[in-house]
Structure 1
Amino acid sequence: MAGANYTLEFGLEAATDDATIIARTVQEVDAALERVIAAASTFNHNPTAFVVERPRFGPLQFPDHGLKIDVDPRLGVAALAWVGPDFDCPWVTKSDRPVPGASLHKDIDSATPFPDDAAITLDQLRAAVHEFRESGGHRPKCVEWQEADGW
């Protein structure tokens, strides 16, 4: 239901900021993103976001969707991975301006990089996260996407 007031939960695990951040408003999402961007050089795991009101499954109650983030503060770029309902594979952002040398990982733990052409601007990151919340966890349409081989 587009336009509804959904709640995002961000998981941020970084050496400089380790928190679960709840964001219900545009201002709270902006503040959460500022914290994510500020902590980017010290991430222990990829920050993730999901809509609290969406369904969960299994004994561990995993969300049925998610948005995974990485940010390269040195180059001022980010990349997103999305998984969710109505699609049978994960997706990553796609840009028409590849950023070779950007340090963007789809999975920080295994050092799995995003493709070079997954880098988006920080303004696009903000717009996509806001759309993700406003759409109730659906894949944002304000950025381009490409299929990914894993989450």
Structure 2
Amino acid sequence: WNSKSAQAMRFGCDCRTWAEMVMQSGDFPEQVVQDLMKHRCYWSGEPALDYCFHVANEHSFLGVLLAHPANPYEKYERFLVLVIVAILIVFPVAALTAAVHNSVVRGIVVLILVTAPRNLLRLYLKRIVIADDEIMQWEHQHHPG
């Protein structure tokens, strides 16, 4: 059990007090922010808790509400990506369902024309959102003050 790392684990808005509700990423140790940026999977040493924490920080839908407050991929950014991705799923799949009646062909077409591009776009958007924090962190490390 790694109690020091486990103390930094937070799920979403840990709103026991007003001060905790408005915590910013700067309110956490720098190592926590770096570990979240690098998608660290081992935190407490308890596999079930670590898995839940990983899912809360990486899942497209759950992360909007449950991501750690210090995660560089902020909740409003997650929400915007979620809206964009949802729009890019719903309309093409509905159109393909109306146009293609063979379920096997429709499944293959959805996989190629909807699912693969959506996943690539989601990964790209996530990467560019985190890139600015990585650049700022690099600047801070190499040019302090």
TM-score bin, normalised by smaller chain: under 0.3
Q: What is the TM-score of this pair, normalised by structure 1?
A: 0.25
Q: Which has the larger radius of gyration?
A: 2
Higher helix share: 2
